Amino acid sequence: MDEKVKISILCDLYGKLLTEKQYEFLNDYYNNDLSLSEIAENNEITRQAVRDIIKKGEKKLFKYEEKLLFMKRMSNQEKKIQQVLLELSKIQKNSSDKKVANILETVKKELNCLV
């Protein structure tokens, strides 16, 4: 997974555990695609100060994930759901019973909402 995407996901998961500035700067940098200079200008601080705040925030995010493993669990759960959906499709394809096919379709729709 791309590092920027990973940090963006971690920010969504753990962002509220960061300081307000760390969350704001990480969100601006990774999700709103602002440069360090733009963030610095908007907050009337130096580019280096923005970089330091972002780096500290990133470090905290990785520490939280190391201890809590929410992103890892979420990723594993999504993989398992995809595998179940694949198996349900195989069953549905080989089933001639309309009732079973309808039930499987309903279950697939519900599982797709979880992914």
Condensed to tens digits (0 to 9), the pLDDT of residues 69-87 reads 999 999 999 999 999 999 9
Percentage of the chain beyond pLDDT 90 is 74
pTM confidence score: 0.76
Cα 18 to chain centroid distance, Å, stands at 16
Measured from the Cβ of residue 50, the count of other Cβ atoms closer than 10 Å reads: 24
Separation of alpha carbons 103 and 105, rounded Å = 5
Helix (H) / strand (E) containing 19: none
